[in-house]
Chains A and B, each alone.
Chain A
Amino acid sequence: MRLHLLALLAKEPAHGYELKQALEQTFGAAYPSPNIGQIYVTLARLEKDGLVRAVDVEQSNRPNKKVYYLTATGREALTTWVEEPTEGPRVRDEFYMKLVLAPLTGIADRMALISRQRRHYLGLMRELNEVMERSESTVARLLVEGAMLHLQADLDWLERCQEELC
Protein backbone atom coordinates (compact mmCIF):
# COMPACT_ATOMS: atom_id res chain seq x y z
CA MET A 1 0.00 0.00 0.00
CA ARG A 2 3.05 2.28 0.47
CA LEU A 3 3.20 3.44 -3.11
CA HIS A 4 -0.55 3.84 -3.45
CA LEU A 5 -0.48 6.27 -0.54
CA LEU A 6 2.53 8.11 -1.98
CA ALA A 7 0.66 8.51 -5.27
CA LEU A 8 -2.37 9.98 -3.52
CA LEU A 9 -0.16 12.34 -1.52
CA ALA A 10 1.54 13.49 -4.73
CA LYS A 11 -1.79 14.99 -5.68
CA GLU A 12 -2.30 16.85 -2.41
CA PRO A 13 -1.40 16.59 1.28
CA ALA A 14 -3.96 14.64 3.28
CA HIS A 15 -4.60 12.99 6.62
CA GLY A 16 -5.07 9.27 7.12
CA TYR A 17 -8.85 9.17 6.91
CA GLU A 18 -8.89 11.23 3.72
CA LEU A 19 -6.52 8.72 2.14
CA LYS A 20 -8.83 5.87 3.05
CA GLN A 21 -11.74 7.69 1.43
CA ALA A 22 -9.71 8.52 -1.67
CA LEU A 23 -8.81 4.83 -2.13
CA GLU A 24 -12.43 3.81 -1.76
CA GLN A 25 -13.66 6.46 -4.16
CA THR A 26 -11.05 5.70 -6.80
CA PHE A 27 -11.27 1.94 -6.84
CA GLY A 28 -14.81 1.25 -5.68
CA ALA A 29 -15.64 -2.41 -5.26
CA ALA A 30 -12.35 -3.40 -6.89
CA TYR A 31 -10.19 -2.49 -3.89
CA PRO A 32 -9.90 -4.63 -0.78
CA SER A 33 -11.51 -2.13 1.59
CA PRO A 34 -8.51 -0.42 3.27
CA ASN A 35 -8.22 -0.69 7.00
CA ILE A 36 -7.60 2.66 8.74
CA GLY A 37 -5.12 1.19 11.22
CA GLN A 38 -3.10 -0.24 8.36
CA ILE A 39 -3.04 3.18 6.70
CA TYR A 40 -1.67 4.84 9.85
CA VAL A 41 0.96 2.15 10.28
CA THR A 42 2.05 2.55 6.66
CA LEU A 43 2.18 6.35 6.98
CA ALA A 44 4.34 6.07 10.09
CA ARG A 45 6.79 3.83 8.24
CA LEU A 46 6.88 6.14 5.25
CA GLU A 47 7.63 9.01 7.61
CA LYS A 48 10.44 7.05 9.26
CA ASP A 49 11.94 6.34 5.84
CA GLY A 50 11.77 10.02 4.92
CA LEU A 51 9.31 9.58 2.07
CA VAL A 52 6.58 11.68 3.70
CA ARG A 53 6.55 14.26 6.44
CA ALA A 54 3.71 15.19 8.77
CA VAL A 55 2.54 18.51 10.17
CA ASP A 56 0.24 18.82 13.13
CA VAL A 57 -2.88 20.78 12.36
CA GLU A 58 -4.75 22.15 15.34
CA GLN A 59 -8.44 21.48 15.55
CA SER A 60 -10.72 23.56 17.78
CA ASN A 61 -12.34 20.99 20.06
CA ARG A 62 -10.53 17.81 19.05
CA PRO A 63 -6.99 16.50 19.27
CA ASN A 64 -4.58 17.71 16.59
CA LYS A 65 -4.58 15.80 13.35
CA LYS A 66 -1.56 14.93 11.27
CA VAL A 67 -1.53 16.04 7.67
CA TYR A 68 0.99 14.20 5.52
CA TYR A 69 2.82 15.50 2.49
CA LEU A 70 5.29 14.00 0.04
CA THR A 71 9.03 14.74 0.35
CA ALA A 72 11.47 14.95 -2.60
CA THR A 73 12.70 11.43 -1.74
CA GLY A 74 9.09 10.26 -1.71
CA ARG A 75 8.50 11.73 -5.15
CA GLU A 76 11.61 9.95 -6.42
CA ALA A 77 10.43 6.60 -5.06
CA LEU A 78 7.05 7.17 -6.68
CA THR A 79 8.63 8.00 -10.05
CA THR A 80 10.78 4.87 -9.91
CA TRP A 81 7.71 2.78 -9.14
CA VAL A 82 5.68 4.27 -11.99
CA GLU A 83 8.48 3.98 -14.54
CA GLU A 84 9.78 0.49 -13.84
CA PRO A 85 8.20 -2.36 -15.83
CA THR A 86 5.64 -4.38 -13.89
CA GLU A 87 5.87 -8.15 -13.50
CA GLY A 88 3.01 -10.07 -15.15
CA PRO A 89 0.72 -11.80 -12.67
CA ARG A 90 1.86 -15.36 -13.21
CA VAL A 91 5.52 -15.64 -13.92
CA ARG A 92 5.79 -18.63 -11.65
CA ASP A 93 3.06 -21.20 -11.51
CA GLU A 94 2.75 -23.57 -8.62
CA PHE A 95 0.06 -25.58 -10.31
CA TYR A 96 2.46 -26.36 -13.13
CA MET A 97 4.91 -27.86 -10.65
CA LYS A 98 2.16 -30.05 -9.24
CA LEU A 99 1.08 -31.09 -12.70
CA VAL A 100 4.57 -32.14 -13.71
CA LEU A 101 5.71 -33.66 -10.42
CA ALA A 102 2.60 -35.17 -8.80
CA PRO A 103 2.15 -38.09 -11.23
CA LEU A 104 5.72 -39.17 -10.48
CA THR A 105 4.78 -39.58 -6.84
CA GLY A 106 1.63 -41.55 -7.61
CA ILE A 107 -0.41 -39.17 -5.42
CA ALA A 108 -2.68 -37.91 -8.17
CA ASP A 109 -3.06 -38.30 -11.91
CA ARG A 110 -2.94 -35.34 -14.25
CA MET A 111 -6.51 -35.61 -15.45
CA ALA A 112 -7.78 -35.34 -11.87
CA LEU A 113 -5.47 -32.40 -11.11
CA ILE A 114 -6.55 -30.50 -14.20
CA SER A 115 -10.24 -31.14 -13.59
CA ARG A 116 -10.01 -29.97 -10.00
CA GLN A 117 -8.09 -26.88 -11.03
CA ARG A 118 -10.64 -26.09 -13.75
CA ARG A 119 -13.50 -26.20 -11.29
CA HIS A 120 -11.53 -24.01 -8.91
CA TYR A 121 -10.92 -21.40 -11.64
CA LEU A 122 -14.60 -21.48 -12.61
CA GLY A 123 -15.51 -20.89 -8.98
CA LEU A 124 -13.20 -17.85 -8.98
CA MET A 125 -14.75 -16.69 -12.22
CA ARG A 126 -18.17 -16.89 -10.66
CA GLU A 127 -16.95 -14.62 -7.87
CA LEU A 128 -15.56 -12.17 -10.42
CA ASN A 129 -18.93 -12.18 -12.19
CA GLU A 130 -20.54 -11.21 -8.90
CA VAL A 131 -17.97 -8.50 -8.20
CA MET A 132 -18.48 -7.18 -11.73
CA GLU A 133 -22.22 -6.88 -11.16
CA ARG A 134 -21.52 -4.81 -8.06
CA SER A 135 -18.83 -2.63 -9.63
CA GLU A 136 -20.07 0.81 -10.49
CA SER A 137 -16.95 2.68 -11.50
CA THR A 138 -15.14 2.16 -14.79
CA VAL A 139 -11.88 1.73 -12.88
CA ALA A 140 -13.32 -1.11 -10.85
CA ARG A 141 -14.88 -2.81 -13.85
CA LEU A 142 -11.67 -2.69 -15.85
CA LEU A 143 -9.74 -4.26 -13.01
CA VAL A 144 -12.26 -7.10 -12.77
CA GLU A 145 -12.28 -7.51 -16.53
CA GLY A 146 -8.50 -7.83 -16.54
CA ALA A 147 -8.68 -10.51 -13.88
CA MET A 148 -11.31 -12.33 -15.95
CA LEU A 149 -9.18 -12.31 -19.06
CA HIS A 150 -6.26 -13.74 -17.11
CA LEU A 151 -8.45 -16.44 -15.68
CA GLN A 152 -9.77 -17.27 -19.16
CA ALA A 153 -6.18 -17.64 -20.36
CA ASP A 154 -5.46 -19.95 -17.42
CA LEU A 155 -8.44 -22.11 -18.37
CA ASP A 156 -7.42 -22.23 -22.02
CA TRP A 157 -3.98 -23.28 -20.91
CA LEU A 158 -5.43 -26.07 -18.72
CA GLU A 159 -7.18 -27.34 -21.81
CA ARG A 160 -3.86 -27.35 -23.68
CA CYS A 161 -2.26 -29.30 -20.85
CA GLN A 162 -5.10 -31.78 -20.97
CA GLU A 163 -4.74 -32.25 -24.72
CA GLU A 164 -0.97 -32.72 -24.55
CA LEU A 165 -0.45 -34.58 -21.29
CA CYS A 166 -3.53 -36.72 -20.71
Chain B
Amino acid sequence: MLKAHNLVKIYAASGVPVHAVRGLDLEIEAGEFVAIMGPSGSGKSTLIHMLGGLDPRTSGEIWLDGKRVDTLSESGWALLRRKKVGFVFQGFNLVANMTVADNVELPALLAGTSPREARERREQLLDKLSLSDRAEASPGQLSGGEQQRVALARALANRPALLLADEPTGNLDSRNTRDVLRLLGEVHRGGQTIVMVTHDARVAALADRVVSLLDGEIVDDGRIPRRKIAGAGEVIDLR
Protein backbone atom coordinates (compact mmCIF):
# COMPACT_ATOMS: atom_id res chain seq x y z
CA MET B 1 0.00 0.00 0.00
CA LEU B 2 2.64 2.51 1.14
CA LYS B 3 6.34 2.18 0.54
CA ALA B 4 9.35 4.39 1.23
CA HIS B 5 12.72 3.62 -0.24
CA ASN B 6 15.95 5.23 0.95
CA LEU B 7 14.02 8.27 2.05
CA VAL B 8 16.12 11.28 3.08
CA LYS B 9 15.24 14.70 4.43
CA ILE B 10 17.81 17.39 5.00
CA TYR B 11 16.59 20.76 6.25
CA ALA B 12 19.00 23.42 5.05
CA ALA B 13 17.06 26.66 5.54
CA SER B 14 19.01 27.96 8.54
CA GLY B 15 22.44 27.45 6.97
CA VAL B 16 23.57 24.41 8.96
CA PRO B 17 22.03 21.33 7.31
CA VAL B 18 19.92 19.15 9.62
CA HIS B 19 19.65 15.46 8.67
CA ALA B 20 16.14 14.81 9.94
CA VAL B 21 15.61 11.50 8.10
CA ARG B 22 18.57 9.42 6.95
CA GLY B 23 17.88 6.86 4.28
CA LEU B 24 14.83 5.12 5.59
CA ASP B 25 13.09 2.04 4.15
CA LEU B 26 9.54 1.20 5.11
CA GLU B 27 6.85 -1.00 3.64
CA ILE B 28 3.28 -0.91 4.91
CA GLU B 29 0.59 -3.38 3.84
CA ALA B 30 -3.00 -2.39 3.16
CA GLY B 31 -5.02 -2.57 6.37
CA GLU B 32 -1.98 -2.50 8.60
CA PHE B 33 -1.83 -0.27 11.68
CA VAL B 34 1.71 0.98 12.27
CA ALA B 35 2.79 3.07 15.26
CA ILE B 36 5.87 5.25 14.89
CA MET B 37 7.67 6.00 18.13
CA GLY B 38 10.90 7.68 19.12
CA PRO B 39 12.34 10.56 21.13
CA SER B 40 11.65 14.20 20.37
CA GLY B 41 13.61 15.31 17.31
CA SER B 42 14.07 11.78 15.97
CA GLY B 43 12.29 12.68 12.71
CA LYS B 44 8.78 11.32 13.26
CA SER B 45 6.88 14.39 12.08
CA THR B 46 9.27 14.87 9.19
CA LEU B 47 8.69 11.30 8.06
CA ILE B 48 4.92 11.39 8.26
CA HIS B 49 4.77 14.77 6.52
CA MET B 50 6.82 13.37 3.66
CA LEU B 51 4.59 10.29 3.47
CA GLY B 52 1.58 12.61 3.14
CA GLY B 53 3.24 14.88 0.60
CA LEU B 54 3.17 17.84 2.98
CA ASP B 55 6.92 18.28 3.04
CA PRO B 56 9.10 17.47 -0.02
CA ARG B 57 11.69 14.73 0.36
CA THR B 58 15.35 15.52 -0.26
CA SER B 59 15.93 12.18 -1.98
CA GLY B 60 14.49 8.68 -2.12
CA GLU B 61 11.17 7.32 -3.30
CA ILE B 62 7.62 7.10 -1.97
CA TRP B 63 5.10 4.72 -3.50
CA LEU B 64 1.39 4.67 -2.79
CA ASP B 65 -0.82 1.92 -4.20
CA GLY B 66 1.83 0.97 -6.73
CA LYS B 67 2.34 4.52 -8.01
CA ARG B 68 5.36 6.64 -7.40
CA VAL B 69 4.16 9.78 -5.61
CA ASP B 70 7.26 11.63 -4.39
CA THR B 71 7.52 13.20 -7.83
CA LEU B 72 3.99 14.65 -7.73
CA SER B 73 3.43 18.40 -7.82
CA GLU B 74 1.75 20.10 -4.87
CA SER B 75 -1.59 20.09 -6.64
CA GLY B 76 -1.10 16.44 -7.58
CA TRP B 77 -0.61 15.65 -3.90
CA ALA B 78 -3.62 17.73 -2.89
CA LEU B 79 -5.79 15.74 -5.26
CA LEU B 80 -4.39 12.44 -4.02
CA ARG B 81 -4.94 13.35 -0.37
CA ARG B 82 -8.51 14.38 -1.09
CA LYS B 83 -9.13 10.95 -2.58
CA LYS B 84 -7.36 8.63 -0.21
CA VAL B 85 -5.36 10.18 2.60
CA GLY B 86 -6.55 11.66 5.90
CA PHE B 87 -3.98 13.65 7.86
CA VAL B 88 -3.97 14.66 11.53
CA PHE B 89 -1.38 17.35 12.29
CA GLN B 90 0.54 17.59 15.54
CA GLY B 91 -0.70 21.21 15.72
CA PHE B 92 -4.32 20.44 14.62
CA ASN B 93 -4.40 23.02 11.71
CA LEU B 94 -8.15 23.60 11.92
CA VAL B 95 -9.65 26.40 9.83
CA ALA B 96 -10.11 29.17 12.40
CA ASN B 97 -13.07 30.99 10.86
CA MET B 98 -15.21 27.90 10.28
CA THR B 99 -17.32 26.00 12.79
CA VAL B 100 -16.30 22.59 14.04
CA ALA B 101 -19.05 21.04 11.91
CA ASP B 102 -17.80 22.75 8.74
CA ASN B 103 -14.20 21.84 9.48
CA VAL B 104 -15.15 18.17 9.62
CA GLU B 105 -17.45 18.24 6.60
CA LEU B 106 -15.12 20.21 4.33
CA PRO B 107 -12.82 17.38 3.17
CA ALA B 108 -15.76 15.16 2.30
CA LEU B 109 -17.44 17.97 0.38
CA LEU B 110 -14.20 18.74 -1.48
CA ALA B 111 -13.98 15.09 -2.45
CA GLY B 112 -17.43 15.30 -3.99
CA THR B 113 -19.49 13.59 -1.28
CA SER B 114 -23.12 14.76 -1.17
CA PRO B 115 -23.87 17.37 1.53
CA ARG B 116 -26.31 15.01 3.22
CA GLU B 117 -23.79 12.20 3.43
CA ALA B 118 -21.03 14.54 4.60
CA ARG B 119 -23.32 15.77 7.32
CA GLU B 120 -24.30 12.32 8.51
CA ARG B 121 -20.72 11.22 8.64
CA ARG B 122 -19.78 14.37 10.55
CA GLU B 123 -22.56 13.77 13.10
CA GLN B 124 -21.43 10.19 13.58
CA LEU B 125 -17.79 11.11 14.10
CA LEU B 126 -18.47 13.98 16.48
CA ASP B 127 -20.79 11.73 18.45
CA LYS B 128 -18.17 9.00 18.78
CA LEU B 129 -15.69 11.55 20.03
CA SER B 130 -18.16 13.13 22.51
CA LEU B 131 -18.12 16.42 20.59
CA SER B 132 -21.71 16.70 19.36
CA ASP B 133 -22.46 19.68 21.57
CA ARG B 134 -19.44 21.56 20.19
CA ALA B 135 -20.45 21.33 16.53
CA GLU B 136 -21.31 25.01 16.17
CA ALA B 137 -18.30 26.31 18.08
CA SER B 138 -15.28 27.74 16.33
CA PRO B 139 -11.87 26.11 16.90
CA GLY B 140 -10.70 29.09 18.98
CA GLN B 141 -13.40 28.31 21.54
CA LEU B 142 -12.21 24.73 22.05
CA SER B 143 -9.72 23.24 24.49
CA GLY B 144 -6.57 21.63 23.08
CA GLY B 145 -8.03 18.17 23.59
CA GLU B 146 -11.25 19.11 21.80
CA GLN B 147 -9.39 20.61 18.85
CA GLN B 148 -7.34 17.46 18.62
CA ARG B 149 -10.44 15.28 18.40
CA VAL B 150 -11.95 17.58 15.78
CA ALA B 151 -8.75 17.22 13.75
CA LEU B 152 -9.12 13.43 13.94
CA ALA B 153 -12.79 13.60 12.92
CA ARG B 154 -11.85 15.77 9.97
CA ALA B 155 -9.15 13.36 8.85
CA LEU B 156 -11.64 10.47 8.96
CA ALA B 157 -14.55 12.28 7.33
CA ASN B 158 -13.67 10.90 3.91
CA ARG B 159 -13.14 7.34 5.10
CA PRO B 160 -9.60 7.63 3.71
CA ALA B 161 -7.87 4.41 2.70
CA LEU B 162 -4.80 5.77 4.51
CA LEU B 163 -4.86 7.67 7.79
CA LEU B 164 -1.64 9.50 8.67
CA ALA B 165 -1.67 10.97 12.16
CA ASP B 166 0.95 12.90 14.10
CA GLU B 167 0.43 12.58 17.88
CA PRO B 168 -3.37 12.52 17.71
CA THR B 169 -3.79 12.04 21.48
CA GLY B 170 -1.08 14.32 22.87
CA ASN B 171 -3.57 16.60 24.62
CA LEU B 172 -6.24 14.14 25.72
CA ASP B 173 -7.21 12.99 29.19
CA SER B 174 -7.97 9.32 29.86
CA ARG B 175 -11.65 9.43 29.07
CA ASN B 176 -11.17 11.18 25.74
CA THR B 177 -8.33 8.86 24.90
CA ARG B 178 -10.73 5.94 25.35
CA ASP B 179 -13.08 7.49 22.78
CA VAL B 180 -10.18 7.86 20.37
CA LEU B 181 -8.98 4.31 21.02
CA ARG B 182 -12.42 2.91 20.25
CA LEU B 183 -12.72 4.93 17.07
CA LEU B 184 -9.25 3.91 15.88
CA GLY B 185 -10.08 0.30 16.68
CA GLU B 186 -13.16 0.57 14.44
CA VAL B 187 -11.22 2.26 11.66
CA HIS B 188 -8.60 -0.47 11.84
CA ARG B 189 -11.13 -3.30 11.84
CA GLY B 190 -12.82 -1.61 8.89
CA GLY B 191 -9.65 -2.20 6.88
CA GLN B 192 -8.28 1.32 6.61
CA THR B 193 -4.49 1.61 6.80
CA ILE B 194 -3.18 3.64 9.74
CA VAL B 195 0.27 5.14 10.22
CA MET B 196 0.47 7.00 13.47
CA VAL B 197 3.20 8.87 15.29
CA THR B 198 2.60 8.58 19.01
CA HIS B 199 4.20 8.74 22.42
CA ASP B 200 1.05 7.35 23.96
CA ALA B 201 1.53 3.67 24.67
CA ARG B 202 -2.21 3.03 24.95
CA VAL B 203 -2.60 4.11 21.34
CA ALA B 204 0.59 2.44 20.12
CA ALA B 205 -0.57 -0.80 21.73
CA LEU B 206 -3.50 -0.94 19.31
CA ALA B 207 -1.10 -1.15 16.40
CA ASP B 208 -0.03 -4.36 14.68
CA ARG B 209 3.50 -3.15 14.43
CA VAL B 210 5.80 -0.57 15.96
CA VAL B 211 8.58 1.29 14.16
CA SER B 212 11.10 3.06 16.40
CA LEU B 213 13.12 6.00 15.14
CA LEU B 214 16.32 7.40 16.60
CA ASP B 215 18.22 10.25 14.94
CA GLY B 216 16.34 9.87 11.67
CA GLU B 217 16.92 6.13 11.37
CA ILE B 218 14.78 3.07 12.05
CA VAL B 219 16.28 1.21 15.00
CA ASP B 220 13.46 -1.30 15.44
CA ASP B 221 10.60 -2.49 13.28
CA GLY B 222 8.47 -5.38 14.43
CA ARG B 223 5.18 -6.74 15.63
CA ILE B 224 3.78 -6.21 19.09
CA PRO B 225 3.55 -9.60 20.81
CA ARG B 226 0.03 -10.86 21.41
CA ARG B 227 -1.00 -13.27 24.16
CA LYS B 228 -4.45 -14.52 24.97
CA ILE B 229 -5.25 -13.55 28.52
CA ALA B 230 -8.03 -14.76 30.74
CA GLY B 231 -8.25 -11.97 33.28
CA ALA B 232 -6.65 -8.92 34.81
CA GLY B 233 -4.87 -11.05 37.36
CA GLU B 234 -2.46 -12.12 34.65
CA VAL B 235 -1.52 -8.54 33.93
CA ILE B 236 -1.75 -6.75 37.25
CA ASP B 237 -0.21 -8.15 40.39
CA LEU B 238 -2.22 -7.05 43.41
CA ARG B 239 -0.60 -7.59 46.76
Contacts and interface: CB of A to CB of B under 8 A. Distances in A.
A33 B227 contact: no
A124 B227 CA distance: 9
A66 interface: no
Given A29-B232, A166-B214, A166-B219, A145 B38 contact: no
Interface in A87-119: 111, 115, 118-119
Contacts of B65: none
Given A31-B238, A159-B38, A125 B219 contact: no
A151 B205 CA distance: 11
Interface string B24-51: 0000000000010111000000000000
A160 B232 CA distance: 29
Q: Is the interface of A mostly helix, strand, loop or mixed?
A: helix
A143 to B, nearest CB: 6
Given A129-B202, A129-B205, A119 B238 contact: no
A163 B210 contact: no
B39 A152 contact: no
A151 B237 CA distance: 13
A148 B232 contact: no
A122 B204 contact: yes
Contact of B232 (A115, A131, A163, A166): A131
A127 B212 CA distance: 21
Interface string B207-239: 100101010000110111111010111111010
Question: 3 smallest A-B Cβ distances: which pairs?
Answer: A32-B233, A115-B220, A125-B205
